[in-house]
Amino acid sequence: GIRLSPVEYLIQYRLTQAALKLRTTEESVAVIAQECGFSDSSYFCRKFKEFFHMRPKEYRGYQKEH
């Protein structure tokens, strides 16, 4: 597989934790970003979209429908 740098691995881990919170809680995107170690929610949203190919709010909406 593709080798991730430790930083990228950590970011992906945090993003998967954030995705779990988006699916299982009603917390705001900003709160989830902070809880998962992202001090900047716009950076979080950008990284989230790169990884999941949708914005956090879209991801939450999509999960609710399926």
Give pTM, 2 decimals. 0.88
Q: Which long-range contacts (CB under 8 A, 24 or more apart) does 11-18 make?
A: 11/47, 12/51, 14/38, 15/47, 15/48, 15/51, 15/52, 18/44, 18/48, 18/56
pLDDT digits (tens, 9 = 90+) for 8-62: 999 999 999 999 999 999 999 999 999 999 999 999 999 999 999 999 999 999 8
